[in-house]
Amino acid sequence: MTISRRKFIQLLGLASASIVVSSGLNGCQSNDSNNNSSFDYGVASGDPLKDRVIIWTRITPETNDAVKVSWEVAEDESFTNLVNSDETLVTYDTDYTLKVDVQGLEAGKQYFYRFYCNGVYSPTGKTKTLVDETAESVKFAVFSCANFPAGFFHIYDAAASRSNNIDAVLHLGDYIYEYDINGYPDAGNGEEINRVHQPTNECITLDDYRTRYAQYRSDSSLQNLHASLPFICVWDDHEIANDTYIDGAENHDTSEGNFFDRRAAAIKAWYEWLPVRAPEIEANRIKTYRRFDFGNILSLLMLDTRVIGRDKQLDYFDYYSSDGVFDAASFQADMQDSNRSLLGADQLTWLQGQLQDSVAQGQKWQVLGQQVLMAKMNLPSSIIQLDPSTGKPDPSNLAIYQQTASAYQALITKIVTDLTIQGDLPTYAAGIPNFNSLNTTEQGIALTLAMQSNEPARYGSIFSTLTLEEQTTLQTYGDLLDPNLNPAIPYNLDAWDGYAVEREIIYATAQALSTNLVVLAGDTHNAWAANLTDLNGTKVGVEFATASVSSPGMEKYLSIPEGAESSIESGITQLVEDLVFTNLTQRGYLEITFNQAEVLGEWLFIGRGAEKLSNTPALQSLKTLRSLINQPDLMT
């Protein structure tokens, strides 16, 4: 096919654009014999709306010249019923990536797409538009934290094999990691499985980030999932640098240049390599929060809790004096500072308006797709206190606390049994304020403390019937159970727990609007499910958090031994008041289904350590939880 000079100029103008908008059938499928090219990174789609969707590919050119690429979108896999076709040029300006915003599509429909360059077709991709008001249910596959050297991306393949019943993939960030080959010891450097980061240095420049994305997108499992379903993405911190905040990051120092230059390079590469709809104005590309409506079932509000508004994280180490004394008053004052923000004022206002509009439009569920845990995750300070020599908690601290709590439970049981047998329980209960409003555990503790105070000899006699190990444990570590001496504190100040004032504003908004709030989270590398409660204990929603694709979890951080997983997970679930479920050692993802009556979350995992195996492991479904409409509570 020959091209006129005018047509060539038009194509060249499009080549520098990040997205080509296409709504017609131009029937072009031309060759460019001067530049042999290949589709080494597959195809992808994303940011679906009811009438449009982004399709993506990346050309590997033979030379540095502009490359002409065609595409086709059809209703059938044989591409007989075409609905869109056109062509454009791609250049180095976009790293030879191409995104097409295909318009004029029908709601709730599957489409097939492919690209063509110089006699070569790309793989065929499948995508879907958003459902309309006739849809009865919506299902997402939710992912987070894929670290290339940490293991194989088996979880992506697992979801691709189940894609026929999924409407979209939600990727909540850490799509890549920026570290150099030795920058994340817990993940390993990948040498033993031939997955060493490229470039080997830390990502700083645009070329660094482009190379790192190219490596991740060379992974066949990730290509498989991208070709199977549309993605809806937000970034977390590692797309830029670890623990990013509004004007810096933990993993950035002055020797690495200007942070904002690095951030701009990272954001440019993110928009190039992911199938997201970029704002027309360059300055607006820092704004990734946006809304997707799935019929009458839900509105999905994708948030940025990393870049646009986050104040720098608090750090427990900053509140210790040189002699090791913790300044609790200063810490609490900073925690309660109403000026500290995670979202930023503009995004918070936007979120409140979108929640109000979603409720007014009659959508059943208001869903937040974001990065970090929103539920309160407070643990006794002794458990999460960092060992200065390792920078991690001492794993024996949790074991000691559990042992102490178990011994105390044995004492409570003996106290209550004795009071019951002797007929003294009604008298003791009458002397305890609001006894009947306490739960069973609280009643037992109150009765034990009352006997210890009122009848120390009787208490001592019962205490002596404990095993010698139980007596020694309580005598040695009993103070760990005193909340005044061992207060419960947030285990992760990088999460919403470090921005509790703004969290309360969101909770108050959700409660005032009578939303059915569901929060989706990633970031921690572990699976969690919790009820969301405000400072008064009122339930305002539920949270489902996905495990990681490959990044190591608490099994590394807490040095959880093989065989101890269940007891530690059970212990933490009991300690964290709002927590319903956690899995601390396995890689996996979350499938979450919404209908007019309920939301159903199912966590799917591979075996512990299976991410290091090259052969695809069997998929396990280990937990299912649900929440009913107008009942903000998780249940099995």
> Nearest CA to 401 among 571, 600, 229?
571
Residue 279, burial from CB neighbour count under 10 angstroms (0-12, 13-18, 19+): middle
Q: Distance between CA atoms of 133 and 237, rounded to whole angstroms?
A: 35
Residue 541 has pLDDT above 60, yes or no: yes
* Average pLDDT for 286-296: 97
Residue 484 to residue 449: CA distance in whole angstroms? 15
Rounded distance, CA 521 to CA 510, Å?
18
**pLDDT of 3:** 43
Task: Quick: pLDDT tens for 34-90.
Answer: 668 899 999 999 999 999 999 999 999 988 899 999 999 999 999 999 999 999 999
Residue whose token pair is 């979450």: 592
104 pLDDT above the threshold of 60: yes
Residue 374 · residue 604 · CB < 8 Å: no
**Is residue 582 within 8 Å of 566, Cβ to Cβ?**
no
pLDDT at position 393 is 81
Q: What average pLDDT does this structure show over 295-319?
A: 96
Per-residue pLDDT band for 392 (boundaries 50, 70, 90) equals: confident
Whether the Cβ atoms of residue 118 and residue 31 lie closer than 8 Å to each other: yes
- Residue 127 binned pLDDT confidence (cut-offs 50, 70, 90): very high
- Which residue is it, tokens 């007014």? 360
The contacts of residue 592 (CB under 8 Å, 6+ apart) are 139, 140, 142, 518, 520, 544, 599, 600, 601, 602
3-state secondary structure of 614: coil
Name the band, by pLDDT with cuts 50, 70 and 90, for residue 578: very high
Give the pLDDT of residue 243: 97
pLDDT, position 28: 64
pLDDT at position 135, please? 96
The pLDDT of 3-18, averaged and rounded, is 43
Rounded to 5°, the CA angle 336-338-341 comes to 105
In the block, which residue shows the tokens 């697992």? Answer: 158
DSSP string, 473-540: HHHHHGGGG-TTTS-EEES-TTSGGGGHHHHHHHHHHHHHTT--EEEEE-SSSSEEEEEEE-TT--EE
Distance, CA of 322 to CA of 218 (rounded, Å): 49
Alpha carbon distance 289, 347 (integer Å): 8
3-state SS record for 533-599: ECCCCCEEEEEEECCCCCCCCHHHHCCCCCCCHHHHHHHHHHHCCCEEEEECCCCEEEEEEEECCEE
Q: Compute the distance between CA of residue 201 and CA of residue 193 in angstroms, rounded to an integer.
A: 19
Q: Write down how long the chain is.
A: 636
Coil, helix or strand at residue 387: strand
Summary mean pLDDT of the chain: 93
Are 413 and 384 in contact, with CB atoms under 8 Å apart? Answer: no
Specify the pLDDT at position 31: 57
User: What's the pLDDT band for 4 if we cut at 50, 70, 90?
Assistant: very low
pTM (predicted TM-score) = 0.93
Q: Which helix (H) or strand (E) holds 294?
A: strand 290-294
pLDDT at position 411, please?
97
CA 289 to chain centre: 15
Give tens-digit pLDDT for 583-632: 999 999 999 999 999 999 999 999 999 999 999 899 998 999 999 998 88
pLDDT one-digit tens code per residue, 208-250:
999 999 999 999 999 999 999 999 999 999 999 999 999 999 9
Query: How far is Cα 165 from Cα 161, in angstroms, rounded to an integer?
Result: 10
What angle is formed at CA 13 by the lines to CA 12 and CA 18, rounded to 5 degrees? 105
Residue 164: count of CB within 10 angstroms of its CB:
9
d(CA 220, CA 227): 10
Q: Is the confidence at residue 545, as pLDDT, over 60?
A: yes
> Residue 150: is its pLDDT beyond 50?
yes
Instruction: Indicate if the pLDDT at residue 22 is higher than 60.
Output: yes
CA pair distance 537, 558, nearest whole angstrom: 29
Tokens 């049981």 belong to: 413
Bridge-based pairing of strands 378-380 and 137-143 is unpaired
Per-residue confidence (pLDDT) for residue 32, from 0 to 100: 52
Residues 495, 504: Cα–Cα separation, whole Å = 14
Eight-class DSSP state of 32: -
Both tokens of 200, joined, read: 């080997």
Who's near 105: CB < 8 A, 6+ residues apart?
50, 51, 52, 53, 73, 83, 84, 111, 129
pLDDT of 9:
36
List the one residue out of 102, 85, 98 whose CA is nearest residue 15.
Answer: 98
Give the C-alpha separation, 222 to 292, whole Å.
Answer: 23
What's the pLDDT band for 30 if we cut at 50, 70, 90? low
Tell how strand 598-605 and strand 517-521 pair up.
Answer: unpaired
Judge whether residue 569 has pLDDT over 50: yes
Confidence band, pLDDT 50/70/90 cuts, at residue 15: very low
Q: Pairing relation of β-strands 110-117 and 120-121? A: antiparallel
Rounded CA separation 169/428 (Å): 56
Give the residue from 404, 398, 371, 60 showing the smallest Cα distance to 243: 371
In this predicted model, what pLDDT tens digit does every residue of 349-360 receive, in sequence order? Answer: 999 999 999 999
Instruction: Show the tokens assigned to 359.
Output: 């409720």
**Which three-class secondary structure string do you get for 63-87?**
CCCCEEEEEEEECCCCCCCEEEEEE
